[in-house]
Amino acid sequence: MSTTDGAGLQLTVHELQVTLLDVSPPVWRRLRVPSAVTLSALHSILQVAFGWQDAHLHEWRVGGRTYGLADEESWGEDLADESSAVLGELAPADSVLHYDYDFGDGWEHLVEVLAVEPYDPTRPPVLLLAGARAAPPEDSGGPLGYEHLLDALADEDDPEHDEMMEWVGDAFDPDELDVQAVNRRLEGMWRPS
């Protein structure tokens, strides 16, 4: 498998640290992704990495520009099209991006570019390297709502404990992140050309 693209340029990967802001204890993911992914593809990767369901609008803020879905639902903003914005062209090593998901709940993610390295064809091109904690469930009310949910789940005497347990189900453990399960879902999300 070649480590250069069709134009003969060296393929690279970005190592990213993605942290969900205003949530304590911290929820974060460290990923490696091809530098050639678009912001649209990176959105899909982050949805899997955090266990989100892609049920809400999102946008990216990079270097003073806002990127998102270029359609009539873009809240009237002047958005650049995320499907043509390439990560490697927008974010060199040591740069920062902002990814916002679900404008109602207001999940803000800080995306830090830790490194840009040559592509290694012996490793999967998209890979969750590490992380901490499960992401909040969809529609849990943003950072404050999630804090309330965690408090209710932790206290069996809380009047909302049973209701919250029923809502999130027995399978939800806020302290658990199954890296292998996430990597199985990420497998095949990107293939070099």
Q: Please tell me the CATH superfamily of domain 12-136+176-186, with its number.
A: MM3350-like (3.10.290.30)
Q: Which two tokens stand for residue 6?
A: 């069709």
pLDDT in tens, 126-177: 999 999 999 898 888 888 888 887 877 887 887 877 888 787 777 778 889 9
Q: Which residues contact 133 (CB under 8 A, 6 or more apart)?
A: 25, 26, 27, 28, 174, 175, 176, 177
* 3-class SS string, 4-45: ECCCCCECEEEEEEEEECCCCCCEEEEEEEECCCEHHHHHHH
pLDDT in tens, 5-51: 544 456 899 999 999 999 988 999 999 999 999 999 999 999 999 99
- Please give the DSSP secondary-structure letter assigned to residue 86: B
Residue 2 has pLDDT above 50, yes or no: no
Would you state the pLDDT for residue 117? 95
Extents of the domains making up the chain: 12-136+176-186
Buried b (16+ CB within 10 A) or exposed e, 89-109: ebbeeeeebebbbbeebebbb
Q: Report the alpha-carbon distance of residue 172 to residue 169 in Å, rounded.
A: 6
Q: Which helix (H) or strand (E) holds 60?
A: strand 58-62
pLDDT in tens, 82-100: 999 999 999 999 999 999 9
